[in-house]
């Protein structure tokens, strides 16, 4: 299995990845900040530098990293800095976290294509994965639990 980690706003939007062939699981988490272990209250405080992210595990025989990256850009507005819909704050920034040079190159290629289509307005960051940690259990599959 391969993974893709991206911040598309609130991590409860993990539901956008449901039902897509090849995607085997999603997990809400935090990534990109200063500490290895953080909690929701700390991240919302704005000092940790973490992003709310969705970690997507997928079968690369069915769906590619590039296809997942294209979905990432379809699932949110990559032109709004630190905001998605009603959610505002540094933790809601648009960001892709890569682990390999190949993932970085794919993300940069897709970002460039999307940016060209959107007139150079894309603010999505592409960063090396750093200090990923799983979010609290009550955030996992939030809408399935609450609806």
To the query of whether residue 133 is one of the catalytic residues in this protein, the response is no
Q: List the Cα angle 24/64/53 in 5-degree steps.
A: 60
Judged by DSSP in three states, 94 sits in coil
Catalytic residue among 10, 44, 133, 147: 10
Question: What is the sign of the dihedral through the CA atoms of 1, 55, 104 and 63?
Answer: positive
List residues bridging with 30 in a β-sheet. Answer: 52, 133
Question: What is the sign of the dihedral through the CA atoms of 15, 39, 82 and 124?
Answer: negative
As annotated, the active-site residues are 10
């Amino acid at each position: 299995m391969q993974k893709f980690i991206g911040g598309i706003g609130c991590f409860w939007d993990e539901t956008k990845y449901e039902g897509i062939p090849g995607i085997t699981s999603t997990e809400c988490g935090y990534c990109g900040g200063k500490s290895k272990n953080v909690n929701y209250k700390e991240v919302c405080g704005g000092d940790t530098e973490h992003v709310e992210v969705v970690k997507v595990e997928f079968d690369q025989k069915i769906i590619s990293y590039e296809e997942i990256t294209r979905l990432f850009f379809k699932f949110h507005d990559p032109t709004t800095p630190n905001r998605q819909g009603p959610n505002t704050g540094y933790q809601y920034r648009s960001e892709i976290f890569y682990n390999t040079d190949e993932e970085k190159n794919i993300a940069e290629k897709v970002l460039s294509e999307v940016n060209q289509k959107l007139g150079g307005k894309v603010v999505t960051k592409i960063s090396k994965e750093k200090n990923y940690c799983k979010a609290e259990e009550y955030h996992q599959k939030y809408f399935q639990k609450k609806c």
